[in-house]
Amino acid sequence: MTPNPSLVLNKVDDITFETYDAPTITDPHDVLVQVKKTGICGSDIHYYAHGKIGPFVLKSPMVLGHESSGTVVEVGSAVKDLKPGDNVAIEPGVPSRLSDEYKQGKYNLCPHMCFAATPSADGKNPPGTLCKYFKSPQDFLVKLPEQVTLEMGALVEPLSVGVHAARVGGIKFGDVVAVFGAGPVGILAAAVAKKFGASKVIIVDIFDNKLEMAKEMGVATHTFNSKTGGDYKKLIEELGQEPNVVLECTGAEPCIRMGVFCLAHGGKYIQVGNAPGDVTFPITEFGNKELTLFGTFRYGYGDYKTAVGILAQNYASNLPEIDFEKMITHRLKWEDAIKAYDLVRAGNGAVKCIISGPE
């Protein structure tokens, strides 16, 4: 068997390098990918620090990683659109092909979803992508065009979260958007809002360095520090008008409240971030303004392809509109992968960390 070096979370505070047998093609639609670049997600850190996220609880060792790109090394006999040597972004969640949600075109809501590095209800752990070889169905891989690097391919997963939120909320040309949270998802959600035609995008956070990064990247026309800048009235003053769309990417109750209060009458509130539990919600303000609330979960049909298309269009020019590379604050080799997790867990200015390999 071919060895498959992997990064494994055994339990809280315990990550080790392990070697398993590489997966093999068993279905004619299977594709084997050699993983090249993987981003560290906030959910990874939750499992590392707490062993759970909401209903997803770690009960046994789990290969980490779900934000990955790589190169095709082998394809099943029925695969026609991909070949060895192609670079791909890996969509990490595969639903049951028999579920009602899948048949309704909402496969991201499938209760039987097999999602990389996410414990399932039966206590089993679908393998993550932080390994040398990862097997995927062909229709959950998106080929990367020449101008989209493998490093950018690792950003497709969180970028797709922003795409899904924008599509669910119907963001359109001319919208004025407030994004709460300047972490990776917030920054990328702002980028999508801009690419979808928003005339103004204000990003709200409590860290000036993250807000400055958002401006330097070209995803924000305005920024607002909610810790030092004042209340929602000051936010509106900074923007010059009330936003008609809010993308809430933090799950923090103060941000949720500010999002509702700053919205224009008839506006749309889109919840992207996960809250740690129930929150107090300003329902009277919400009702009096006739706001619309949208919930979002991961991404669905077409979102990955749209995310790749955004990157391809952005880098088709020598002067890209958005400098996505700026949000990658740390790049580490495979042998330093455990250090990478400790670095992101500690904070200290890390926005997006990319691990290379294993080779």
What would the mean pLDDT of 63-91 be, rounded to a whole number? 98
pLDDT above 90 for 139: yes
Q: What is the pLDDT of residue 215?
A: 96
DSSP 56-107: EE--S-EE---EEEEEEEEE-TT--S--TT-EEEE--EE--TTSHHHHTT-G
pLDDT above 90 for 26: yes
DSSP 295-314: E--S--TTHHHHHHHHHHHH
What would the mean pLDDT of 26-38 be, rounded to a whole number? 98
Count Cα neighbours of 164 within 13 Å in the Cβ-side half-sphere. 25
Lowest mean pLDDT among 52-56, 156-160, 322-326: 52-56
Report the chain's mean pLDDT, rounded to a whole number: 96
* CA atoms of 195 and 185, how far apart (whole Å): 15
- pLDDT tens column, 158-199: 999 999 999 999 999 999 999 999 999 999 999 999 999 999
The better pLDDT of the pair 136, 121 is held by 136
Maximum Cα–Cα distance for the chain, whole Å? 64
Beta partners for residue 331, in sequence order: 354
* CA atoms of 220 and 87, how far apart (whole Å): 30
- pLDDT tens column, 84-125: 999 999 999 999 999 999 999 999 999 999 999 999 866 678
DSSP secondary structure letter of residue 324: G
* CA atoms of 204 and 346, how far apart (whole Å): 22
- What's phi and psi for 309, nearest 5 deg? -65, -40
Domains in the chain: ranges and CATH: 3-147+327-356 (3.90.180.10), 159-295 (3.40.50.720)
Instruction: Kindly report the number of other CB atoms within 10 A of residue 54's CB atom.
Output: 11
* CA atoms of 152 and 99, how far apart (whole Å): 32
* CA atoms of 177 and 221, how far apart (whole Å): 10
Q: What predicted TM-score, i.e. pTM, was given to this entire model?
A: 0.96
Q: Can you read off the two tokens belonging to residue 228?
A: 């030092």
Per the CB < 8 A criterion, the answer to whether 161 and 221 are in contact is no
- pLDDT tens column, 275-300: 988 999 999 999 999 999 999 999 99
3-class state of residue 236 by DSSP: helix
Q: What is the pLDDT of residue 123?
A: 66
* CA atoms of 244 and 267, how far apart (whole Å): 5
What would the mean pLDDT of 56-61 be, rounded to a whole number? 92
pLDDT above 90 for 348: no
Instruction: Kindly report the number of other CB atoms within 10 A of residue 304's CB atom.
Output: 22
